[in-house]
Amino acid sequence: MIGYVGPFGDMNFGDYAMLVNDIMNINTKEGLLFTYNKAGVSAVIDEYFPTGDFNVIQVEVNDTYQPILGREYQVEFADETYMPLDIVERIENSTDVKEQLKRLDVLIVTGGGYFNKLWLARHRLYKSLSIMGTILLANEIGIPIFFLGNTFGPFDDQSETFRAFFSTLRNVKYASRDNYLSPSFMRSIGVSEEIEVIIDDLYGVTSDLFSRKRSLDLPAKYIVIELSSSLVEMEDLTEDIREFVDYFLEVHKIDVVFLPLDKEYGGEYQMSHLIKENVKIKTVFNFEKNSFLPIEVALEVVSNAEFVICQRYHLFLLALNNKIPCMQIVKDVLGDSRYYYCKSYGLLKMLIDDTYGEDFICKNVRHALKRVKNDFEEIIKSMSSQLADVCKKEKLLHIEKMNYFKRILERGEGRNNV
């Protein structure tokens, strides 16, 4: 049996969409999923695998921190280094988790960007400890561990936590979704094992997902905007967005669809703010009766768009995968853009030759809106030309990823030699 652990309990669109695509690609009808959010993950599994035999295991972590949510984003860190013993001792139901892990042939660590300093911030610490604790317990009982397409780092002043964690693992196979900074970050903390490069878990959406259709009321021609900026930033950007929307309606007869990827601060509140301010955006989805955005909704909205402007990496990825001209606004995290640039440029580097991402990546929402408004036709022409050459590369990348999955299905070389 295959087990899965990763950040999919966050109910972040990219994380649960990667999990669903992974399970469909691996094409097994059963499995165990280890998470800090059993209810949320169960809802996703029930939606996409109603006839499968998948059990969701809650991994309980001893953590009492309560984040304070507000109109601006704030990140608080604990000044502490976590050794493997510190981590497994925080798992309150470790005995039960180990009993479930013993049922596995392989543990898959799903793709994403969560082995870094940011994921040891106080508001995310219990999630990281849940994931890392599950991996450490599997390692203790000798379960082969396969990482999928991860972004590793930056580790910064938490390097010793990650050095101790990765140095403990044996019978493990690492994979990264970029050949840019992730391998060097891992080498910097002493990881000497081969790090295989495979494209992101969600790149190359399965036919099963594409075949699912929703009845969406989409305009004839439209640009997609997705923003997860703080509400304070949204207030500052309101008039810029209004001007952008009005311009494309009047000059190009193109609507602007706002697509929220996640509930509340993940897009829902930002969309509500623009509606409240009477910005003429179109909406095609709300979370009133849904706990998460269906993957097929995002697919349909993106694949029929004229252009996509987004902050979230996985919407950028879906646009590239569907050859839709797009621009991602890369936010600074912890004072610089290494985290998001590593993911986004790492993806572009695999698909397009000779680019630093200057056409597709922008660091400022206002600047992105201005660029697209002022040079729309030229940008479309340039991007379309670059994206036309992606097809040959992505076929090879898909084959490499499926070969990696094949090795997982074969259980590597067994428990003694991953």
| Residues 23 and 45 sit within 8 Å (Cβ to Cβ) | no
Q: Poorest-confidence range of 141-150, 169-178, 290-299, 328-337?
A: 328-337
Supply the Cα-derived Rg of the chain in whole angstroms: 21
Q: Which residue has the tokens 């450490």?
A: 136
For the segment 337-368, what is each residue's pLDDT rounded down to a tens digit? 999 999 999 999 999 976 788 999 999 999 99
Is residue 70 pLDDT above 70, yes or no?
Answer: no
Question: By percentage, how much of the chain surpasses pLDDT 90?
Answer: 84
What mean pLDDT comes out for the span 292-315? 97
Supply the pLDDT for residue 69.
67
Is residue 416 pLDDT above 50, yes or no?
Answer: no
Is residue 286 pLDDT above 90, yes or no?
Answer: no
Residues 6+ apart with CB under 8 A from 211: none
CATH architecture, domain defined by 212-351+353-388:
3-Layer(aba) Sandwich (3.40)
Is residue 73 pLDDT above 80, yes or no?
Answer: no
Quick one: three-class SS letters along the chain? Answer: CEEEECHHHHCCHHHHHHHHHHHHHHCCCEEEEEECCHHHHHHHHHHHCCCCEEEEEECCECCCCCCCCCCCCCCCECCCCCCHHHHHHCECCHHHHHHHHCCCCEEEECCEEEECHHHHECCCHHHHHHHHHHHHHHHHCCCCEEECCEEECCCHHHHHHHHHHHHHCCCEEEEECCCCCHHHHHHHCCCCCCEEECCCCCCCCCHHHHCCCCCCCCCCCEEEEECCCCHHHHHHHHHHHHHHHHHHHHHHCCEEEECCCECHHHEHHHHHHHHHCCCCCEECCCCCCCCCCCHHHHHHHHHCCCEEEECCHHHHHHHHHCCCCEEEECCCECCECHHHHHHHHHHHHHHCCCCCCCCCEECCHHHHHHHHHHCHHHHHHHHHHHHHCHHHHHHHHHHHHHHHHHHHHCCECECCCC
Is residue 373 pLDDT above 60, yes or no?
Answer: yes
Let me know the angle formed at the C-alpha of 13 by 284 and 24, rounded to the nearest 5 degrees: 105
Instruction: Return the domain boundaries, the chain.
Output: 2-202+396-409, 212-351+353-388
- Statement: the pTM of the whole predicted model exceeds 0.85: yes
Determine how β-strand 112-115 pairs with β-strand 106-109.
unpaired
Instruction: Indicate if 212-351+353-388 has the same CATH topology as 2-202+396-409.
Output: yes
Q: Which residue has the tokens 């087990």?
A: 3
Instruction: Return d(Cα 222, Cα 217) in angstroms, integer.
Output: 12
Is residue 412 pLDDT above 70, yes or no?
Answer: no
- How many residues does this entry show for the chain? 418
Instruction: Return d(Cα 326, Cα 312) in angstroms, integer.
Output: 12
Query: Would you give the DSSP letter of residue 177?
Result: S
For the segment 305-343, what is each residue's pLDDT rounded down to a tens digit? 999 999 999 999 999 999 999 999 998 887 899 999 999
Is residue 414 pLDDT above 70, yes or no?
Answer: no
Mean pLDDT of the chain: 93
For the segment 213-238, what is each residue's pLDDT rounded down to a tens digit? 888 999 999 999 999 999 999 999 99
Supply the pLDDT for residue 335.
84
Q: Tell me which residue of 392, 391, 369 sits closest to 379, measured CA to CA.
A: 369
CATH hierarchy code of domain 2-202+396-409: 3.40.50
Q: Which residue has the tokens 């860190």?
A: 77
> Which secondary structure element, helix H or strand E, spans residue 54, and what is its range?
strand 53-58
